[in-house]
């Protein structure tokens, strides 16, 4: 499995969802475990729900006559 070196380090670790995704893909493809696909789909559903709740589009911040698209701030620490 791809993340085995994580557990050989002398510190506490938590895997990010990108690594969970890789592990689940491996389990689904190599071990033929159907539950891994369901878990990956659940992770996607959770991510989409959080992005919707945590990063809503900004309200109108434009002055009359101002052109262009309103900037949307996204604060994500992707792996």
pTM of the model: 0.53
In the chain, domain spans: 15-53
pLDDT at 78: 46
Residue range 21-67, pLDDT digits in tens: 899 999 999 999 999 999 999 999 988 888 777 766 656 667 778 78
- Cα angle for residues 35, 17, 10 (degrees, 5° grid): 110
pLDDT at 35: 96
User: Alpha carbon of 14 to those of 8, 19, 20, 29, 36: distances in Å?
Assistant: 13, 10, 10, 23, 19
């Amino acid at each position: 499995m791809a993340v085995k070196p994580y557990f050989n380090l002398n510190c506490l670790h938590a895997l990010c969802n990108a690594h969970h995704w890789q592990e689940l893909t491996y389990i689904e493809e190599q071990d033929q475990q159907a539950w891994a696909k369901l878990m990956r789909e659940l992770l996607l559903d959770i991510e989409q729900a959080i992005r919707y709740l945590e990063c809503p589009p900004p309200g109108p911040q434009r002055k009359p006559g101002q052109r262009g698209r309103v900037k949307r701030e996204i604060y994500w620490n992707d792996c």
